[in-house]
Structure 1
């Protein structure tokens, strides 16, 4: 397959645009998640979104309406994602259970309910259910113009809002006591970060799937962290790695379908590229450190 086909074929172009938007937005948000050591919260949001997505689909389809409306699916996923975050916060604040245990329990509960709902949908004659299982591992080839527009508006909006509160966000992340003394509303700033993470995670589920979405957020940040110690370059580098990985992963996924290897889901292809870049970055840092020490 010619790489330029990604720019000339309508289906390939939609897939490329959608994955790049998700890759850049998720990559740019990854550093804030990584430095706060909250990778598992992204995983909990992604897995809980399946329940909301399928719940809205089933509810709308029951009344004979379009259950695949992207805005409705995104709304349902955001609701369950926010509910999952709220439950984790309540468990952590009001019980002796640690945060990681609360996230793990919430993640598995919501995902189990989502899988039960998926089984119910797949075994019953519900209109519009074809391809609904693609949300597990992602399938960029099914992206429509409406999906791409939704991703662009939501992803761009999240990055714009977070850029406007960047200084406050940095203060809260790195020195919460100082931020509180400076009059910054910690709960509001943290809530903006969580809402942004929920939104980016939800719009990325259709591309990479609920199972691997956390890797799309964290892997670019891990790679970028090896090249810089400053926050703004860290965010920019992570976003660039996310976008580049999306381009390469989408191409490999589509190209593999035309070979004897057979079709490869978009999500695993993108995550594999990100994993290779992260491994190369870690290796390069180790080599540089060894060289400096030796000299």
Structure 2
């Protein structure tokens, strides 16, 4: 396959645009997880979005001839993901539970509910449900124009909101007490950060899938962290690595396919992490 086909063929171009936007967005959010040390929260959000997708599809099917409406499915996934984050933050306050136990219980419960929902749909055929299984591992080849527009608008908006509170977020992450003393609205900043995380995660599962979305956020950040210590270059490098690896993964999945897009992108990002580790060993001055 000629790489230029990614730009000249309509279907391939749709897949490329969708994967690159997801890669850029996930890469930009990755440093947030790295600094807050909450990478597993992405895994919880991704897995917890599945029952929201199923529920949104069922509701849409009651009022339309085809329940697979991207904005509606996105709203369902967002609601489910935000509910999971709320539970993760609430349960430790109500009972003496370790955070890891709360994360594991929330992830497994929501994901199990989503799988039951998919099984239910398989026994009650409804128009448009064929593409729902692609949310598990991702499939960029099935992206429609509406999917790409939704991903670009929602994902870009989430990253934009995060950039607006960049300085306040940097202060909050480094020293919460100092941020509160200097008048930084810590609760508002945290709410924006978590909302951006949930939004980007939910948007990305269309391409990468619920199983591997955590790697799509964390792998570019892990690679970028080997190359720089400064915050702004860290975010920019992570975002660019995410976009570039998504483009390469999209090409490989199409050219050597049919292969699932999500796993191929993650393998490319894993190679980027290994390359960054080796480069840091050769040129240790990069991380100074």
TM category, shorter: over 0.9
**Which of residues 246, 267, 275 in structure 1 aligns to 2:270?**
275
| Counterpart position of 2:226 | 226
Task: Report the 3-state secondary structure (helix = DSSP H, G, I; strand = E; otherwise coil) of the residue aligned with 1:207.
Answer: coil
Residues 50 and 111, structure 2, Cα contact 8 Å, conserved in 1: yes
Offset at 1:66? 2.8
Deviations 1:115-167 (A, max 9, x none): 11111112222221112211100000111111111111111111211111111
What is the aligned partner in structure 2 of residue 260 from structure 1? Answer: none
Corresponding residue for 1:217?
217
Question: Which runs of no fewer than 5 residues in structure 1 stay unpaired?
Answer: 258-262, 291-295
Displacement of 1:62 = 3.5
The residue aligned with 2:37 is 37
Q: Residue 178 of structure 2 aligns with which residue?
A: 178
The match for 1:113 is 113
User: What corresponds to 1:11 in structure 2?
Assistant: 11
The range that moved more, 153-162 or 104-113, is: 153-162
Deviation at residue 50 of structure 1 after TM alignment: 0.6
Q: Hey, what's the Cα distance between the residues in 2 that align with 1:10 and 1:120?
A: 34
Question: Could you tell me which residue of structure 2 aligns to residue 266 of structure 1?
Answer: 261
- Matched residue SS, 1:106: helix
Cα RMSD after superposing both structures: 1.2
Question: After TM superposition, which residue ranges in structure 1, 4 or more long, deviate above 6 angstroms?
Answer: none
| Alignment partners' CA distance in 2, 1:215 and 1:254 | 21
Deviation at 1:64, TM superposition (A): 4.2
Q: Which is worse superposed, 59-68 or 120-129?
A: 59-68
SS at match of 2:137: coil
Distance 2:276 2:91 in 1: 37
Counterpart position of 2:193: 193
Give, in whole Å, the separation in 2 of the partners of 1:284 and 1:199. Answer: 33
The answer to whether residue 280 in structure 2 is matched with residue 285 in structure 1 is yes
In structure 2, the gaps of 5 or more residues are none
CA deviation digits over 1:52-110, x for unaligned, max 9?
00111022213444311100000000000000000001112222112222111100100
Equivalent residues, number: 285
